[in-house]
């Protein structure tokens, strides 16, 4: 667990359920979910997307089950999937039962669409007998009309009440393997609804801002809602709902958990300065090239690209590896210590080479192999830049003396 997590509120303990091999709730790691956009009857196409999602951080994948072809597709997909599969059910109880026959690891039911109590309890009984969990997936956009009217709209209280009623049906038949979501497209409503749900239920909560839209706005809305709740200790699993390739959802979910220190880093974390007048290279270009090259390797490493050798290594000393540019050369550093000076046109290549070595050999070994003359070369470059562009810094003593003269007596 990253030290960053210690700055967050303690995570609220919930009941734990199992979605296939993935535990959700309790002390289990917060999991990432996404949903396929293929026709589920297209078995090979759907499996290809599931594998892509799993490779990019998805722990659980949801597939629609809206007709018999989709249910039959699930029967072939589930045993070949690298991650647990949840069937998404909206209007037809028959599809929920068919998905269970297909062997899915979980169901998602929308209380606003599947409304008949006897049908809801039938599905819960069948899921109970198979040990298959169900998500009560409340959505502000499809709230039951009676609840909508009673609360005067899709308020946080209305969303939580919808989940409460559904949960009561489940409890009537002794079914308890439940997780709950109370999603809205309004970030403020979503946050308030999940806070209320957290205070109301002891069930694991599935976080998400529904219908967040395309990038970049959808990513911002999703992050605003999900990250706020995670920082408060609320949430056990999450999904970004983006109008984009679902792989972007999985990436975003995984990266959010990593930057919050809630999951161990599995891939690249590239940090870069925003650039300024001191920069000696096109920082944006170098950062993009480095990200493309390093992401292709999928190394679990934090890398910094800094445009200034004066402050760069110090500002990014927490990074596993980094490079700072100056005077047509790049200062390669590991945890703030200069290990090599390379020509400007070799900066990205040097980063990639060193990243692979750090992952293979470890930081201590690479620091021991550093060029002993590199620090002196780097210091000479820094001194030249201070002479050229750091007049203010070089006149610090003169300014201090002037301040003292002004304030004497």
Q: What is the pLDDT of residue 295?
A: 87
Q: What is the pLDDT of residue 314?
A: 74
Report pLDDT digits (tens) over 120-145. Answer: 999 999 999 999 999 999 999 999 99
CB 261 within 8 A of CB 2: yes
Q: What is the pLDDT of residue 391?
A: 45
Distance CA(343)–CA(355), nearest Å, equals 17
Supply the mean pLDDT for the chain: 91
CB 165 within 8 A of CB 123: no
The CA-based angle 378-380-383, given to 5 degrees, is: 110
Whether 6 shows a pLDDT value over 50: the answer reads: yes
Residues in CB range of 226: below 8 A, 6 or more apart: 207, 208, 209, 235, 238, 240, 256
Res. 218 pLDDT band, cuts 50 70 90 = very high
Average pLDDT of span 174-196: 98
Report pLDDT digits (tens) over 277-286. Answer: 666 678 888 8
For domain 269-393, say whether CATH 3.90.120.10 is its number. no
Comparing 9 with 386, the larger pLDDT belongs to 9
Q: What is the pLDDT of residue 90?
A: 87
Distance CA(245)–CA(83), nearest Å, equals 18
Q: What is the pLDDT of residue 93?
A: 96
Report pLDDT digits (tens) over 340-360. Answer: 999 988 999 999 999 999 999
Q: What is the pLDDT of residue 149?
A: 97
Report pLDDT digits (tens) over 25-77. Answer: 999 999 999 999 999 999 999 999 999 999 999 999 999 999 999 999 999 99
Whether 329 shows a pLDDT value over 90: the answer reads: no
CB 332 within 8 A of CB 350: yes
User: 3-259 has which fold?
Assistant: TIM Barrel (3.20.20)
Domain assignments of the chain as residue spans, ordered by start? 3-259, 269-393
CB 210 within 8 A of CB 185: yes
Q: Could you tell me what percent of the chain has a pLDDT over 90?
A: 74
Q: What is the pLDDT of residue 393?
A: 45
Instruction: Specify the pTM.
Output: 0.84
Report pLDDT digits (tens) over 77-125. Answer: 999 999 999 999 988 999 999 999 999 999 999 998 999 999 999 999 9
Q: What is the pLDDT of residue 406?
A: 79
Report pLDDT digits (tens) over 291-313. Answer: 999 988 888 899 999 887 666 67
């Amino acid at each position: 667990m990253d030290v960053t997590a210690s700055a967050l509120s303690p995570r609220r303990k919930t009941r734990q359920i199992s979605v296939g091999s993935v535990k959700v709730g309790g002390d289990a790691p917060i999991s990432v979910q996404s949903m396929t956009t293929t026709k589920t009857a297209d078995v090979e196409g759907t499996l290809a997307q599931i594998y892509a999602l799993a490779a990019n951080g998805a722990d659980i994948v949801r597939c629609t089950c809206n007709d018999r072809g989709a249910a039959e597709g699930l029967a072939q997909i589930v045993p070949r999937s690298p991650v647990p599969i949840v069937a998404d059910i909206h209007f037809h109880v028959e599809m929920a039962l068919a998905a269970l026959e297909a062997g899915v690891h979980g169901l998602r039911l929308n209380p606003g669409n599947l409304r008949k109590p006897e049908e809801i309890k039938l599905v819960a009984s069948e899921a109970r007998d198979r040990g298959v969990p169900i998500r009560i997936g409340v959505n502000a956009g499809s709230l039951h009309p009676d609840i909508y009217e009673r609360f005067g709209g899709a308020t946080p209280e209305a969303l939580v009440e919808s989940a409460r009623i559904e949960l009561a049906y489940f409890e009537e038949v002794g079914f308890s393997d439940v997780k709950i979501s109370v999603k809205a497209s309004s970030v403020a409503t979503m946050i308030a609804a999940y806070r209320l749900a957290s205070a109301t239920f002891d069930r694991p909560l599935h976080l998400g801002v529904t219908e967040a839209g395309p990038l970049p706005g959808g990513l911002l809305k999703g992050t605003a809602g999900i990250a706020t709740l995670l920082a408060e200790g609320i949430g056990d699993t999450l999904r970004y709902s983006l109008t984009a390739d679902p792989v972007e959802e999985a990436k975003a979910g995984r990266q959010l958990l990593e930057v919050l220190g809630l999951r161990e880093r599995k891939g690249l974390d590239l940090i870069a300065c925003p650039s300024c007048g001191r920069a000696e290279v096109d920082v944006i270009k170098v950062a993009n090239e480095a990200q493309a090259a390093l992401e292709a390797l999928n190394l679990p490493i934090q890398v910094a690209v800094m445009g200034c050798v004066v402050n760069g290594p110090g500002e990014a000393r927490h990074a596993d590896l980094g490079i700072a540019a100056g005077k047509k050369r790049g200062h390669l550093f590991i945890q703030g210590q200069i290990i090599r000076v390379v020509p400007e046109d070799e900066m990205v290549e040097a980063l990639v080479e060193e990243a692979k070595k750090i992952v293979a050999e470890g930081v201590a070994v690479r620091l021991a192999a550093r060029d002993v003359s590199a620090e002196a070369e780097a210091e000479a470059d820094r001194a030249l830049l201070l002479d050229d562009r750091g007049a203010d810094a070089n006149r610090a003593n003169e300014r201090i003396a002037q301040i003292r003269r002004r304030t004497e007596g």
